[in-house]
Amino acid sequence: MSGALAALLALLFFAPLAFVYGRRVAAGIGRQARARGRSPLAVGLPKLAVPLVLLFAMLWRLAAHGTSLEPRVVATGWRSLDALLAVVDMVGGAAAILFFLTIPFAMGRVFGVAAAAFGAFGEAAGLPESTGRGNRSWRDMRDSFREESSVMAQRFTVAIDGPAAAGKGTLAKLIAAHYGLPHLDTGLLYRAVGRKAADLGLDLDDPDAAGAVARSLTPSALDDGSLRGREAGELASRVAVHPSVRSALETFQRDFAGQPAGAVLDGRDIGTVIAPDAEVKIFVTASPEVRARRRTDELAAKGRAPDYERILAEVRERDLRDAGRATAPLKPAADAHLLDTSEMAIDAAFLAARELIDGFLARRG
């Protein structure tokens, strides 16, 4: 039997198993792509690395040895190359021994990535009629997926504003993940400017110095973990009062809000200044006492010993500063939906926000 014929028969033999596995791969890629706001192809291509390496190594081994399992000694005179070829030979040997797993695995991955790229099998493929007692059937999951796909096809922007510790950041992340939209915590931009200005020893009350830092800011600066701390928040509030800083950062935020796929942004002036035309505007608030208690509990969970009264005073002081600044003061947009989370857990707040967004989508058709 010729090698070509043997390869064709192997492909036909393993095709059904590869098809089943490929459908599951395609479904997984579809879910990840929606959650990350990326294309299925971008998510799927990295998944081809392992199967392609295994196939190459196995073909190398078979070409050199046929069906022999004896290791092949390669001597090129280059130590690094000899070592690499030895590893390839070893991996290829293992892949050849596990031939009945390697071939359907590689075929399924390639098929799954290709299917996902063309939008096929994205509806919980390969699941049984029922996923277990009390769970939805795969048909229900398929309908849910189609509904989510319809939502994704309708571009919309969600603007979420509110004071510190009201829960707007957590809510924005949940909304972005649910609707498959990119998310920007705009507060990080001001925190990054404040942090960088402080690290450079600049006067945070100097609008020219703070504006220069804002104009030089790069996206990588937002990856600094210290920006989530209380100190960075206070620095942000100080530099945010400068029109020069706000002007430098507004273009970045408006470009993000205007993405073709839509977006979710949270901050303090998204619905009033950055994205006044946003389809959905939510102003998240809570009483100063509740927000101070949340911040106190958060710090206590990290092993600190926070002073509730001091934090409450800081919350009230920051509210006055944010609401009283001359440029873009903190206030709800005229058409924003007010969401008071004083008596709400995050799950209840998320459900309320979803009802607002789903209502908008239903009205728009």
Please enumerate in sequence order all residues whose Cβ is within 8 A of that of 353, keeping only pairs 6 or more positions apart, or say none. Answer: 171, 174, 175, 282, 339
Per-residue pLDDT at 125:
37
Which of 236, 229, 253 shows the shortest CA–CA distance to 192?
236
For 177-226, the pLDDT digits (tens) are 999 999 998 889 999 999 999 999 999 999 999 999 999 888 788 888 88
pLDDT at 259 over 90: no
Which of 198, 187, 185 shows the shortest CA–CA distance to 235?
198
Per-residue pLDDT at 117:
79
Which structural domains are found in the chain, ordered by start? 3-122 (no CATH), 154-182+261-305+330-365 (3.40.50.300), 186-258 (no CATH)
For 90-114, the pLDDT digits (tens) are 666 665 656 567 777 788 888 888 8
For the chain, percent of residues with pLDDT exceeding 70: 73
pLDDT band at 20 (very low <50, low <70, confident <90, very high): confident
Residue 189: enclosing H or E segment and its boundaries? Answer: helix 187-199
